[in-house]
């Protein structure tokens, strides 16, 4: 299968964590932007219309009005005219803001939230719906929110819970297998509910993904980008690292790298995108490409990528898609969720590229595996890195600053023609070191310490909250319009000489997926060297949690 670049319009709108609705005008505007990016060399082969395109009473057979007054014809015709492959989102067998149609009734579970896939009329009707849209030109199908434990009232009486899960699995694989045989050019993508521990990256590894799903699907997604359960100053890098942890989780479950969709490229001004727009987008893109998925998805509002960004996008994408088509990718290093350095290597006959990440709070040397089974060539070149700390390349590998990523080229890729510059909106300290700080419990979900701050250094304070079993506990303040920013829940405060000291944080926004940590920095200009500084870390959660905290001295270039 040739690499397929798929645009998904979710986060250009957001009807779950935000209030921006999908309309025909929004969808067509994104198609225009897609074509503009194509004119600059960006590869975007397909366009998926994500959730809420459907009339709630239609069983996916009609489009929502008044948002689509004439149905999908204008969008479908424009896609076909410009050789864009159209795709549609489906909620598989759960009811996502929709009502059951009569043919689904005998498949409904007792809670009336999902349909059994092996009993009643749902599965036959659902496959008819897929065929209907295939016949209308849809070629990419996104399956979301599957419920393998859904049982009709009849099946609930006849089968044990584990039997219900197995029968639903078999029914879905069989049905989609028959659909694929009838329509061999259809592309099927699996999303939420198809396996994987996606809500917490501190849990011990275990098998949770059924590899037999690859018989039905071209790709399995490994989770919406969200903060990893490792404290990081850069909220955006923490999302990069989360997706890398999930890719490794799926690899350990036996899913090949090229069948994993990290779904991690998101640009947007909605809640699901954490309102990031295009902050730190370059590193995000490079990691999506380096993970090696044959199907790569790009989410959000494409108008945020101006022509200058589009040219950079095309240059980076062209390099990696060439390796996808003619070379191979491999993952190396430790687990991101344990703050261990890691990376990806894209290997060609005449050269290789490495994308390397240090998720820890220390300067770290990363040994690069030989792409050809021998030794690394001597002509390596750093092609891209975060601002601040200068990566130090050696014969064995590379030394990176805390939370830093970089791209390195070897062989033919060591040419300056592949240079991609510096990511200026992620700044890595030029130096970092741990400071002695003894945090003691001083209240309910509160720890504090008193330190003597050093001169000529900023302070970086990290806090993590865990449950009694030592598993990271995620807090969430909700979503717009009534949600609270995470900085109201996970707090870092400081006082010196009887006065509050400003603490800068990056988690002062609503985060729908929750967070288990907080990181704050105090600028040296706000400190009096030699005077005691009291640091208090707390959580407003009502249940008793275990809080731990550390302090680092950092110096920016």
Distance CA 202, CA 360 (A): 15
Q: Are 435 and 460 in contact (CB under 8 A)?
A: no
Cα(first)–Cα(last) distance of the chain, in Å? 46
Paired sense of beta strands 421-428 and 381-388, if any:
parallel
Distance CA 105, CA 119 (A): 11
Distance CA 103, CA 227 (A): 41
**What is the DSSP secondary-structure string of 93-146?**
TB-SS----GGGGGGB-TTSSBB-SSSSSHHHHHHHHHHHHHHTT--EEEE---
Q: What is the pLDDT of residue 258?
A: 95
Residue 488: CB atoms within 10 A of its CB come to 14
**What is the DSSP secondary-structure string of 437-478?**
---EEEETTEEEEEE-PPTT-EEEEEEEEE-TTS-B--B---
Distance CA 19, CA 7 (A): 21
At the second CATH level, the architecture of 333-427 is Sandwich (2.60)
What does the pLDDT average to over 152-163?
96
pLDDT greater at residue 384 or residue 370:
384
Distance CA 496, CA 500 (A): 7
Q: Are 217 and 176 in contact (CB under 8 A)?
A: yes
At residue 1, does pLDDT exceed 80?
A: no
Class of residue 356 by CB neighbours under 10 A (exposed 0-12, middle 13-18, buried 19+): buried
Q: What SS3 class is residue 80?
A: helix
Task: Give me the residue spans of the domains in the chain.
Answer: 333-427, 432-555
Report the candidate in 186, 140, 132, 143 with the shortest Cα–Cα distance to residue 44: 140
Mean pLDDT of the chain: 95
The 431-435 sheet, strands edge to edge: 431-435, 546-555, 458-466, 517-522, 504-505
At residue 355, does pLDDT exceed 80?
A: yes
pLDDT digits 0-9 by tens, 25-64: 999 999 999 999 999 999 999 999 999 999 999 999 999 9
> Which residues have CB under 8 Å from 320's CB, separation 6+?
286, 289, 290, 346, 353
Exposure letters 151-187 (e unless 16+ CB within 10 A, then b): bbeebbeebeeeebbebbbebbbebbeebbeebeebb
Paired sense of beta strands 342-348 and 328-333, if any:
antiparallel
Q: Are 113 and 151 in contact (CB under 8 A)?
A: no
What does the pLDDT average to over 391-402?
93
Q: What is the pLDDT of residue 379?
A: 80
Q: Please state which CATH number belongs to domain 432-555.
A: 2.60.120
Q: What is the pLDDT of residue 294?
A: 94
Token pair, residue 308, equals 């200058």
Q: What is the pLDDT of residue 376?
A: 66
pLDDT digits 0-9 by tens, 231-278: 999 999 999 999 999 999 999 999 999 999 999 999 999 999 999 999
What does the pLDDT average to over 435-439?
96
At residue 4, does pLDDT exceed 70?
A: yes
Q: What percent of the chain has pLDDT over 90?
A: 91
Distance CA 180, CA 541 (A): 48
H-helix or E-strand spanning residue 208:
none
Q: What is the pLDDT of residue 372?
A: 61
At residue 549, does pLDDT exceed 70?
A: yes
Report the candidate in 230, 231, 263 with the shortest Cα–Cα distance to residue 247: 263
Q: What is the pLDDT of residue 485?
A: 96
At residue 371, does pLDDT exceed 70?
A: no
At residue 65, does pLDDT exceed 70?
A: yes
Q: What is the pLDDT of residue 208?
A: 92
pLDDT digits 0-9 by tens, 164-187: 999 999 999 999 999 999 999 999
pLDDT digits 0-9 by tens, 78-115: 999 999 999 999 999 999 999 999 999 999 999 999 99
């Amino acid at each position: 299968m040739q690499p397929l670049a798929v645009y998904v319009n979710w986060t250009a709108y957001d009807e779950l964590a935000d209030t921006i609705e999908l309309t025909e005008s929004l969808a067509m505007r994104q198609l225009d932007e897609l074509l503009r990016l194509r004119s600059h060399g960006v590869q975007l082969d397909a366009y998926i219309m994500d959730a809420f395109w459907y009339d709630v009473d239609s069983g996916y057979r009609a489009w929502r009005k008044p948002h689509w007054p004439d149905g999908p014809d204008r969008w479908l015709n424009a896609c076909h005219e410009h050789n864009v492959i159209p795709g549609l989102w489906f909620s598989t067998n759960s009811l996502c803001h929709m009502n059951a149609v009569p043919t689904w009734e005998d498949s409904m579970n007792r809670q009336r939230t999902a349909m059994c896939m092996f009993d009643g009329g749902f599965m036959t009707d659902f496959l008819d719906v897929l065929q209907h849209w295939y016949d209308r030109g849809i070629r990419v199908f996104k399956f979301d929110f599957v419920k393998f434990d859904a049982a009709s009232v009849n099946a609930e009486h006849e089968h044990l819970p584990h039997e219900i899960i197995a029968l639903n699995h078999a029914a879905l694989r069989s049905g989609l297998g028959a659909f694929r045989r009838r329509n061999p050019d259809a592309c099927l993508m699996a999303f939420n509910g198809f396996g994987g521990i996606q809500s917490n990256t501190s849990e011990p590894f275990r098998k949770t993904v059924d590899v037999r799903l690859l018989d039905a699907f071209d790709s399995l997604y490994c989770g919406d980008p969200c903060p990893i359960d490792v404290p990081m100053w850069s909220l955006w890098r923490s999302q990069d690292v989360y997706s890398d942890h999930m890719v490794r989780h799926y690899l350990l479950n036996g899913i090949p790298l090229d069948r994993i969709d990290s779904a991690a490229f998101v640009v947007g001004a909605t809640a699901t995108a954490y309102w990031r727009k295009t902050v730190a987008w370059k590193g995000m893109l490079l990691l999506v490409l380096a993970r090696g998925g044959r199907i790569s998805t790009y989410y959000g509002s494409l108008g945020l990528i101006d022509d200058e960004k589009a040219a950079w996008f095309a240059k980076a994408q062209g390099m990696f898609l060439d390796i996808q088509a003619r070379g191979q990718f491999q993952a190396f290093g430790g687990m991101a969720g344990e703050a261990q350095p890691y990376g990806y290597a894209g290997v060609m006959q005449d050269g290789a590229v490495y994308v390397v990440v240090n998720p820890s709070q220390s300067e770290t040397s990363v040994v690069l595996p030989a792409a050809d089974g021998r030794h690394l060539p001597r002509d390596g070149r750093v092609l891209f890195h975060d601002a601040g700390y200068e990566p130090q390349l050696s014969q064995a590998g590379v030394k990176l600053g805390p939370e830093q990523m970089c791209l390195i080229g070897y062989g033919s890729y060591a040419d300056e023609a592949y240079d991609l510059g510096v990511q200026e909106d992620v700044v890595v300290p030029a130096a970092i070191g741990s400071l002695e700080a003894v945090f003691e419990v001083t209240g309910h979900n509160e720890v504090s310490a008193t330190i003597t701050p050093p001169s000529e250094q900023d302070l970086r304070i990290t806090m993590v909250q865990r449950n009694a079993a030592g598993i990271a506990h995620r807090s969430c303040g909700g979503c717009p319009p009534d949600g609270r920013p995470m900085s109201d829940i996970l707090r870092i405060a400081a006082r010196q000489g009887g006065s509050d000291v400003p603490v800068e944080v990056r988690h002062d926004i609503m985060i729908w997926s929750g967070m288990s940590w907080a990181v704050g920095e105090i600028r040296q200009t706000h400190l009096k060297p030699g005077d005691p500084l009291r640091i208090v870390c707390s959580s407003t959660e009502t249940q008793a949690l275990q809080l731990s905290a550390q302090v680092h001295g950092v110096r920016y270039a």
